[in-house]
Structure 1
Amino acid sequence: MSSFLPILAVFIGVIIARLIKYNANAIKLLLSFSGAFLLAITVFEFIPHVYKDYNKLVGVCTMLGILLQLFLEFLSKGAEHGHIHIDKSETNFPVLLFISLCLHSFLEGYPLHGHNHLLWGVAIHKVPIAIIISSFLLYSSLSRIKVFMFLIIFALMTPLGSLTQQYFTGLAKFNIYIEAVVIGILLHVSTTILFESSKNHQFNLSKVLAILVGVITAYFL
């Protein structure tokens, strides 16, 4: 399931982008829900799991995760939380965007095996991101082969991260520290989604409700 669900989430996002006219307001609400859900799952379950045997290095790794995500967003211009800037006339493959999204997806996939609630959080987060990325790529001047190669590899990176954790047993002694890095990444992405979900950081009622539903759903999951 940790391999299948993230792929399905990207597939759903691509299908929605192809079949339904892009609606920025609806996407922002979905982003707000997914960001709140992912943040709540991280706080309710993932942080207590990683920090149960706390040492200072775990905290350092969490900060490194935040800094790593800042660097990845420098490359992607914020695609991990719904911002994407691709010139529709662009014909060159967006290499930096591709590298950033793939590394982000690989790392967020690493702790998913055995953490089903976090798996759902990551999968739900992927749907609006896949919609946004697909909407821009599919209507750009990039060749369809390049676009589908981008989307297929992007979809596979999260399962690849999960499989790495399962089968590369030599990494087991570092799991707690890698997972702490992932906590930093998830905290940065999810809080950025919430704070940037509205213009001028102002929240209307629909966005507040979307966030509340995300948090409540995570709590009772």
Structure 2
Amino acid sequence: MNYLLLFLAVVAGYIVALILRKKDLKNMEVFMAFSGAFLLSITVFELLPKVFESPSKSIGVYIMLGILLQIFLEFFSKGAEHGHVHLHSENKHFPWILFISLSIHAFMEGFPISEENNLLVAIIIHKIPVAIILSFFFITAGYKQSTTLFFLFFFGVMTPLGNFISNHYEFVHQYETQITAVVIGIFLHVSTTILFESSKNHKFHPAKMAAVIVAIGMAYLL
């Protein structure tokens, strides 16, 4: 069921994108702020305490490696993980670099999902707006529908694949803490970037602030 829900989050994003207009994307900023705050809160409330059950400086090293990995991936994805997509309308070739970098990100975020945490909810909330924005820009850039669906299908299955491997391969369990720490670094970078970018020019936005507060409260109460 978890695998299906993760995939359906991308499907839902695509369906919403089909009925969106450009001006409607401005309303996504509040949803993005909510998703970023929720993902950050689950990371802080649930994942960080787990990896630091046996405190070690090496855990911090793995978290920093996760942050560096995400920075590296964003050189190629151009920030699509947090809602920024820049596609050139004159280039209709399949964006392999964007596809590979996003797939690595999506694959990694599936590893820490388990019945012991609420990360599944956080990832679904994170994926829906990203899928909406990805789909919308693919559609408006004039890419073939087959290209868009191919991209979104494999983007949609990467997180369930990561979670499947985490659940069924023993060698992953041996390095569970280290892998989770790397993913924490990825989440910290993505979620904080979403929050920083949702407050352009550092202006106070009551709706976004309310969304952030609600997200933190919900994550704490889960």
**What is the TM-score when the length of structure 1 is the normalising length?**
0.96
SS at match of 2:118: helix
- What amino acid is aligned across from residue 17 of structure 1 in structure 2? A
- 1:203 corresponds in structure 2 to 204
- 1:183 corresponds in structure 2 to 184
Q: Does 1:153 align with 2:164?
A: no
- What amino acid is aligned across from residue 183 of structure 1 in structure 2? I
- 1:212 corresponds in structure 2 to 213
Change in CA separation of 1:27 and 1:115 when aligned onto 2, cut-off 3 Å: farther
Query: Could you list the runs of 5+ residues in structure 1 that have no partner in the other structure?
Result: none
User: Could you tell me how far apart the structure 2 residues matched to 1:184 and 1:201 are?
Assistant: 24
- 2:97 corresponds in structure 1 to 96
Which one is further off, 36-45 or 112-121? 112-121
Q: Percent of aligned pairs with the same residue?
A: 48
- What amino acid is aligned across from residue 216 of structure 1 in structure 2? G
SS at match of 1:142: coil
Contact 1:69 1:188 in 2 (8 A): yes
Deviation at residue 141 of structure 1 after TM alignment: 2.7
What is the aligned residue count? 221
Pairwise mapping of residues 53-72 of structure 1 onto structure 2 (< 5 A)?
Answer: 53-72=54-73
Change in CA separation of 1:100 and 1:196 when aligned onto 2, cut-off 3 Å: same
Pairwise mapping of residues 41-52 of structure 1 onto structure 2 (< 5 A)?
Answer: 41-52=42-53
User: Could you tell me how far apart the structure 2 residues matched to 1:116 and 1:20 are?
Assistant: 33
Q: Structure 1 stretches (4+) deviating beyond 3 angstroms?
A: none
- 1:79 corresponds in structure 2 to 80
User: Could you tell me how far apart the structure 1 residues matched to 2:75 and 2:113 are?
Assistant: 26
User: Could you tell me how far apart the structure 2 residues matched to 1:100 and 1:148 are?
Assistant: 17
Q: Does 1:20 align with 2:13?
A: no
User: Could you tell me how far apart the structure 2 residues matched to 1:57 and 1:2 are?
Assistant: 31
Contact 2:46 2:117 in 1 (8 A): no
Contact 1:2 1:113 in 2 (8 A): no
SS at match of 1:176: helix
Contact 1:90 1:141 in 2 (8 A): no
Deviation at residue 171 of structure 1 after TM alignment: 1.9
**What is the TM-score when the length of structure 2 is the normalising length?**
0.96
Query: Could you list the runs of 5+ residues in structure 2 that have no partner in the other structure?
Result: none
